[in-house]
Structure 1
Amino acid sequence: MSETLYDRLGGEDAIAAVVDRFYGRLLEDDRVAHFFEDLDMQDQRAHQTQFLSSVADGPVEYSGADMESAHEHLEITPSDFDVIATHLEETLVEFDVDEADRAAVMEAVAGYEDDIVTAAD
C-alpha cells in the first residue's frame, strides 16, 4: 500500500500541530484576524485538522459545513484568501514539509477557493 499525503505529513497529531501554528499566525495578522473574532478557536482548530486530514487522503471524513455555507457570510476577498493561503504555506515550510507535499496541500486547498471567496477586492 502506498503512503498517502496524510502519512507523509505525519498523521493527525502532526497536522493538528500545523493547524495550531497556522491559526496562531492568522490571529496575529491584523489583515485577517477579524474573521476569527467570534469563533470558538478550539472547535475551529478541530474542524481545520479534520478538513486537512481529509483532503490529504487520511482516514478521516470531513463532517463540517460545506465550504460555501461556512464562509459565505464572511465576505472573504481574493486578497484575504491569498493572505490565509500564504500563512498556511509558510507554516508548512516552518514544519519542514517538503516542497512536493506542500504543493499537494496547497493545490487541495486552492480547489475550494471559489467556495470560500465570496466578495470582490
Structure 2
Amino acid sequence: MSETLFDQLGGAAAVNAAVDIFYQKVLADGSLSPFFEGVSMQDQRDKQKAFLTVAFGGPYDYVGNDLTSSHARAVKRGLSDRHVNAVLGHLMKTLQELKVSGYLVVEIMKIAESTRNAVLGR
C-alpha cells in the first residue's frame, strides 16, 4: 500500500503548520483580506485543515459545506480568478517556505487548481 500525499507531507502536523502560515500570508494580502472580514479565523483554519487532510488522502473528518456553497458569499463580493491566482501564489510560497519536495508541490498545486471552478461557482 502506497503512502498518501497526506502521509508524504508529514501528516496532521505538516498540514496544520502549512495552513497557519498560509493564512498569515492571505490575511496580509490587501486584495484577499477583505473576504475574511467577520470570519472566525480559528474556525476557518480548522475547516481548511480538515478539508486539506481529506483532499490529500488523510482521515475523513471534514464536515463543512461544499466548495461552491462555502465561497458563494465571497463570489457575490467579487471573488474572481485574480483572487484565486493570489491564493495559489500564497500556497506555493508557503510550501516552498516549508521546504516541501518539488514533486509534492506539483501534486498539491494540481489539487488546489482543480478546485478553481467550484470555488468560483462555475
Match of 1:90 in 2: 93
SS at match of 2:117: helix
Q: Which amino acid aligns with 2:51?
A: F
Cα pair 1:54 1:61 within 8 Å, conserved: yes
The alpha carbon displacement at 1:118 in A equals: 4.6
Cα pair 1:77 1:118 within 8 Å, conserved: no
- Spell out the pairing of 1:26-105 with structure 2 (5 A cutoff): 26-75=26-75, 76-105=79-108
The alpha carbon displacement at 1:5 in A equals: 0.6
Q: Indicate yes or no: 2:14 matched with 1:14.
A: yes
Point out where structure 1 has 5 or more consecutive residues left out of the alignment. Answer: none
Distance 2:16 2:43 in 1: 12
The alpha carbon displacement at 1:15 in A equals: 0.4
- TM-score, normalisation: structure 1: 0.93
Count of equivalent residues: 119
* Aligned-CA RMSD value: 1.3
Deviations 1:83-106 (A, max 9, x none): 001101110110011111111111
The alpha carbon displacement at 1:27 in A equals: 0.6
Q: Which amino acid aligns with 2:94?
A: T
Match of 2:119 in 1: 116
Regions of 4+ moved over 3 Å? none
Percent identical among aligned pairs is 35
Distance 2:18 2:2 in 1: 23
Distance 1:24 1:11 in 2: 21
Distance 1:36 1:103 in 2: 27
